[in-house]
Amino acid sequence: MRLIVGLGNPGARYERNRHNVGFMAVDEIVRRHGFGPYRGKFQGAIAEGAIGGSRVYALKPQTYMNASGEAVGEAARFYKIAPEEIAVLHDEIDLAPGKLRVKRGGGAAGHNGIRSIDSVVGEDYWRARIGIGHPGAKELVQPYVLQNFTVEETGWLGPLLGAVAEALPLLVGDDAAGFMTRVALILRPPPRARAAEESKD
């Protein structure tokens, strides 16, 4: 049994914000793997499905970002899911746009949603960090993450979310390195396109 959590803020106002990329990733996972409909439970929206032979719950906390741990803790306790069986997908300003990094454990690195989860379930869970880039100055971070993705950014966003959903069985099987490699291979342009790009250099 696994719990896949996407972080974001509830409501139409925040739907396309950079800070909500975790919600977007979970929505694509639910769609791609044919999960059941979302239900309101555990202060969140939760859907159930199967990936790679494992029962998987997909959760979008509806508590607002800073209290994400409340929903995660309730779901984990109810289903008796250990921290190492939880994967959280979230935005990361210290990664270049479209980059993906996964690790188990670690600090919050200033992310309030991660800090909230750490305080409830501890730090020993998987974190899939989706790069959204940094605005360049600390005081610009909050308005930047609460802005919608630009038209240009949607060019990499859709393919990345699709690749994350397609490769997820590897992460469900605790193969983080394989998961990241698979995502990179899915996103890699075909040889002819690569050759055309290289010829421009």
Q: How many helices (H) and strands (E) does the chain have?
A: 7, 7
Instruction: Return the active site residues.
Output: 19
4, 58 Cβ separation under 8 angstroms? yes
Strands (E), the chain: 2-6, 39-41, 44-51, 54-61, 86-92, 100-104, 126-131
Q: Is the dihedral of CA 176, 110, 146, 152 positive or negative?
A: negative
Amino acid identity for residue 87 in this structure: A
39 within 8 A of 45, measured Cβ to Cβ: yes
187: three-class secondary structure by DSSP? helix
